[in-house]
Amino acid sequence: MSRALLLLLIGVPVAVPAAPQPAAGAWELVVLGRAQDAGIPQLGCSQAACVDRRSGKLPPERVASLGLRHTGTGRAFLFDATPDLPSQLHSLTGGRSPDGIFLTHGHIGHYTGLMYLGRESVNSSRVPVYGTARMTAFLTANGPWSQLVGLGNITLNAIPPDRAIDLGEGARVTPFLVPHRDEFTDTVGYLIEGPGKRALFIPDIDQWSKWDRDIRALAETVDYAFLDGTFASAAEIPGRAIADIPHPMMSDTRARLKGARAQLWFLHLNHTNPELGGKDVVTDGRRFGM
């Protein structure tokens, strides 16, 4: 007979270990940037949006990214590794490496920030990086990204579309394929779920009409929709055909989601976009409870 049981039988109070309690705090989404891949001011740009930011009249715009952070444990995940990754990690984690990075695709604004995890910079140790099989194969086969893998700075995790990744403490992330210019990799968006709220993150897509899913139906199932706001009008890019760089116009997205459950927030805005100050354009640093 155990001593604890004997003491209980003879009426002596016994301290019972408390059941494990969930970590205090909550998940939140943090906006870490809202510009198209090249940021604002963009190299070679002489438009007012760039001139004002280059002169210091307005702050520069970081490249579009979201962070998911638990306010109790400090665990933090990054969505896309942009050229602004050092600044974005300081905003999200105080500068430490994240607990994971979810990549959407292989265009410059969405994965090249991985370089800052290498030995020339923070020299991180085995940061989990999630992407499709094609995305992880691209990183494995091409330098300098392959060096990050070889040196153990990052650990690649190929995730199948439409399969949820459990982050613990009530949070999940699910990738889904979207049509985009897939020269090197395929492209995904993400469903980000917390204990109380759900969000879509689709910074790049060719056109809603090319997708085999209904963005309106998806917007009825989530609380926030962070969507591709690259262009307000095809007239923004004289001399280039919109067919070469297809994105949904913001007016089309608004029409499709009018009255939907989700709060619509545009990000990934090009430096030519006149709606940078629009009421449904998300602001860098804004936080959303999950």
- 262 and 225 Cβ atoms separated by less than 8 Å: yes
- Cα 224 → chain centroid: 13
CA distance 100 to 156: 10
For the chain, give the percent of residues with pLDDT over 70.
91
CA distance 261 to 225: 10
Per-residue pLDDT of the chain (290 residues; tens, 9 = 90+): 544 433 333 444 444 444 444 568 899 999 999 999 999 999 999 999 999 999 999 999 999 999 999 999 999 999 999 999 999 999 999 999 999 999 999 999 999 999 999 999 999 999 999 999 999 999 999 999 999 999 999 999 999 999 999 999 999 999 999 999 999 999 999 999 999 999 999 999 999 999 999 999 999 999 999 999 999 988 887 777 766 778 999 999 999 999 999 999 999 999 999 999 999 999 999 999 99
CA distance 1 to 9: 11
Domain 26-283 has CATH 3.60.15.10: yes
42-55 pLDDT, tens per residue? 999 999 999 999 99
Instruction: Count Cα atoms within 13 angstroms, Cβ side, for 57.
Output: 9
The closest of 135, 121, 130 to 85, measured between CA atoms, is 121
Within 10 Å of residue 191's Cβ, how many Cβ atoms? 19
224-228 β-sheet, strand order: 165-168, 171-177, 188-193, 198-202, 224-228, 263-267
